[in-house]
Amino acid sequence: MSKFKYEIDQRLRYSLEHANHISLCLKHFEITKKIDREFEKQNFFISFLKNFFNLPINILYFFKRLKIYGEYQWTLKEIEILKKELEEYNKK
């Protein structure tokens, strides 16, 4: 195996692992959102106050989720391209 193929293979493995990690983070965000919704149903007033006072933090949290989702999309595209590179290299 040539050094280039080995490097591409290692990067692909890392990217797959990274995509799996990001996917788990996104699933945890969904679980947290479900918990918040259930809490809001039971304690509307407390939830309203919490959301009002934490509005700046919630905005930052929203942008953090957008960044993570964008990183996930980028990683998926990287995996796709790396697989194509390995296929092309294997055809040679």
Res. 1: pLDDT tops 70 = no
Res. 46: pLDDT tops 90 = no
Domain segments of the chain as ranges? 3-91
pLDDT tens, residue by residue, 55-67 = 999 999 999 999 9
Q: Which residue has the tokens 């890392």?
A: 14
65 CB-near residues (< 8 Å, 6+ apart)? 29
Q: Report the C-alpha gap between 15 and 78 in whole angstroms.
A: 7
